Structure 1
Amino acid sequence: MARRHHSKRRTREAPELDITTFLNLMVVLVPFLLISAVFSRVTILELSVPTAAGGAASAQPDFSIEVIVRKAGLELANGASVVAAIPKKDDQYDLKKLSEMLSRLKADYPQKDDATVLMEPQIEYDHLIQVMDTVRGVEVRDAKSEEVQKTVLFPNISIGDAP
């Protein structure tokens, strides 16, 4: 009798897997993901890492432009020494003053297109982005036509830690 009972168990078929619930989830999830993918956009900023042995071409100037972001303010250096210090105004970095100084440098050296932004530890990431935007370009308002034009200053930016 034990054998008969055992043989009945073998002939029994395995129950089918009900995937209806899973398919309903996919029907809802796939269009949602496709629609939301259109609205997400990633902006990539190309940066270069400063090298110790820079193989600069002879046509480029033999100095470097360094903007050092410190807790007390901004410093503009030429690679060897600090040229100008821009203190904070009302606990904010004076990006307008930095922009004016960089515009003068660009007028003096129009072929120079690289700069280095150095940052002290414990400085907020947002400040780094604002300084990098200022170094990359400046918006100039035309007094006659009231149009705002973007002027490129130093688009090739390297970043690093401040000394």
Structure 2
Amino acid sequence: MRRRHRKLTSSPDLDITPFMNLMIVLVPVLLLGMVFSQLRTIELNFPGSESGQTPSSDEFQLLVTLIPAGIEVTDSERGVLAVLPARRGAQDFAALRETLKQIKRSVPNKTDLVLQVGPDVDYQTLITAMDTVRSYPAVVAASVVEGELFPDVALMDAADNRELATRGGIPDGEGA
């Protein structure tokens, strides 16, 4: 009788080089993709949306009007506080921030503001205005933090033919 010899088979080494190459490329691509897919949301209020009524007239209200011609800041007690015309097609958000900081110093407990937006204002300008009225960069203990201005923003439509107000016969410049 003849003996059959079986071939001794050894398990081959697993070659994971292609898989490692795939992971080296795939992981950074996925990590970069996560950064671009984040969304930032802004909480909005509409005048009278909580109670179904318009705000009472005896309460101090701050109104910022944003139209292509510029920005106007008014309040319910003193009227027009500042008129900031657009310069070379760009809104003056730095002056708006300084005006709102002065107002915040005089009424520190106020957190709401109505942003009246004209129909011809583009989306990026609206978002920049909302970011400007909500907070400002402040330096505290050698680090930059966000200081609070008026975080409760309510949106409102401005009239189609709305123009900037004039203060004392001067069509532009900052008010009191």
Q: Would the TM-score normalized by the shorter structure come out above 0.5?
A: yes
SS at match of 1:62: coil
**Which residue identity is paired with 1:49?**
F
TM-score (norm 1): 0.66
Look up the equivalent residue of 1:136 and give its one-letter code.
Answer: R
Structure having the larger proportion of residues in helix: 1
Aligned equivalent of 1:77, options 52, 74, 79: 74
CA shift, 1:38, in A, is 4.4
User: Take 1:82 and 1:154, find their aligned partners in 2: how far apart are those partners?
Assistant: 18
Counterpart of 1:130? 128
Q: Which residue number in structure 2 is paired with residue 98 of structure 1? A: 96
Read off the aligned partner of 1:107 and give its amino acid letter: R
SS state at 1:98 partner: helix
Distance 1:67 1:154 in 2: 11
Q: Offset at 1:79?
A: 4.1
What residue ranges of structure 2 are gaps of 5+ in the alignment? 1-29, 160-176
Contact kept? 2:136, 2:148, Cα under 8 Å: yes
Shifted more, 78-87 versus 102-111: the winner is 78-87
Instruction: Identify the match of residue 153 of structure 2 among 130, 153, 157.
Output: 157
> Structure 1 pair 149/91, CA: closer, same or farther in 2 (3 Å)?
same
Counterpart residue number, 1:43: 40
- Please say if residues 67 and 120 of structure 2, whose CA atoms lie closer than 8 Å, have aligned partners that are also in contact: no
**What is the CA deviation profile of residues 137-162 of structure 1, one whole-angstrom value per residue up to 9, with x for unaligned ones?**
011347x94x4232010000001101
Render the CA deviation track for 1:47-88: whole Å, top value 9, x for unaligned.
0111243269xxxx8211111011110000114743221011
5+ unaligned residues in a row in structure 1: which ranges? 1-34
| Partner Cα distance (1:44, 1:62) in 2 | 29
Distance across 2 between alignment mates of 1:123 and 1:53: 24
Residue type of the alignment partner of 1:70:
I
Question: Hey, what does 1:54 align to over in structure 2?
Answer: 55
Alignment partner of 2:84: what SS? strand
Tell me the amino acid that sits aligned with residue 125 of structure 2. H
Aligned-CA RMSD value:
2.7
Give the superposition deviation at 1:45: 1.3
Instruction: Tell me the secondary structure at the aligned position of residue 99 of structure 2.
Output: helix
The letter for the 2-side match of 1:72 is A
- TM-superposed CA distance for 1:44, in Å, is 1.9
Letter in 2 for 1:149: V
Alignment TM-score, normalising by the size of structure 2:
0.61
- Shift >4 Å, 4+ stretches: 35-39
> Residue type matched to 2:154 in 1?
S
